[in-house]
Copies of this chain bind each other. A is one copy, B any other.
Amino acid sequence: MDGIAVEAGATYGASETRPVVLEPDSGFDWVDTGDPMPKGRNAVIMSEDVTWLDSGAAEIIAPASPWQHVRAIGEDIVATELLFAEGHIVRAADVGALLAAGIWQVKVRRKPIVALIPTGDEIVEPSQRLAGEKPALREGDIIESNTYVQSALVAEWGGNPLRLAVVGDDAEELKSALLGALDQADIVAINAGSSAGSEDFTVDIIRSVGEVLVHGIAQRPGKPVVLGRSSHGGRWKPVIGVPGYPVSAFITFSTFVEPVVKAMLGLRPQEHETVDATLARKVASPAGVEEFLRVKVGRVGGKLIASPVSRGAGVITSVVRADGIVRVPRMSEGIAEGATVKVALLRPRSEIENTVVAIGSHDPGLDLLGSIMRRRTGTGLSSSHAGSLGGLMALRRNEAHVAGTHLIDETTGEYNTSYLAQIMPGKRILLMALANREQGLIVPKGNPRGITGLEALASGHVRIVNRQRGAGTRVLLDLLLKRLGAVPGTVPGYDHEEYTHTAVASAVASGVADCGLGVLAAARALGLDFVPVAKELYELAILEENADDPRVKAMIEALRSEEFKTALQEMGGYDTSVTGLERWWPR
- Picked from B193, B250, B271, B506, the residue with its CB within 8 Å of the CB of A79 is B506
Interface segment, one of A50-58, A91-99, A330-338, A413-421: A91-99
The residue of chain B having its C-beta at the shortest distance from the C-beta of A348 within the complex is: B271
The residue of chain B having its C-beta at the shortest distance from the C-beta of A370 within the complex is: B85
- A145 at interface, CB cutoff 8 A: yes
Chain B residues lying within 8 Å of A130, measured Cβ to Cβ, are 104-105
Interface segment, one of A298-306, A373-381, A530-538: A373-381
- A126 at interface, CB cutoff 8 A: yes
Q: For residues 75 through 94 of chain A, which have their beta carbon under 8 Å from a beta carbon of chain B?
A: 75-87, 91-94
Chain B residues lying within 8 Å of A82, measured Cβ to Cβ, are 364, 367, 370-371
Contact with B along A437-464 (1 / 0, CB 8 A): 0000000000000000000000000000
**Interface contact A315-B32, CB-CB below 8 Å:** no
Given A100-B246, A320-B97, answer yes or no on A500-B66 (Cβ-Cβ < 8 Å).
no
- In the complex, how many angstroms separate the beta carbon of A572 from the nearest chain B beta carbon? 13
**Interface contact B495-A66, CB-CB below 8 Å:** yes
The residue of chain B having its C-beta at the shortest distance from the C-beta of A90 within the complex is: B152
Q: For residues 206 through 222 of chain A, which have their beta carbon under 8 Å from a beta carbon of chain B?
A: none
The residue of chain B having its C-beta at the shortest distance from the C-beta of A375 within the complex is: B86
Interface segment, one of A10-18, A135-143, A403-411, A540-548: A135-143
The residue of chain B having its C-beta at the shortest distance from the C-beta of A197 within the complex is: B32
The residue of chain B having its C-beta at the shortest distance from the C-beta of A495 within the complex is: B66
- Picked from B316, B502, B526, the residue with its CB within 8 Å of the CB of A97 is B316
Number of interface residues of A (CB under 8 A): 103
- A148 at interface, CB cutoff 8 A: yes
The residue of chain B having its C-beta at the shortest distance from the C-beta of A97 within the complex is: B320
**Interface contact B74-A500, CB-CB below 8 Å:** yes
Given A195-B33, A271-B348, A498-B74, answer yes or no on A104-B129 (Cβ-Cβ < 8 Å).
yes
**Interface contact B85-A371, CB-CB below 8 Å:** yes
- Picked from B67, B145, B503, the residue with its CB within 8 Å of the CB of A99 is B145
Chain B residues lying within 8 Å of A140, measured Cβ to Cβ, are 35-36
Chain B residues lying within 8 Å of A83, measured Cβ to Cβ, are 317, 320
- Picked from B77, B79, B268, the residue with its CB within 8 Å of the CB of A526 is B79
Chain B residues lying within 8 Å of A145, measured Cβ to Cβ, are 95-96, 99-100
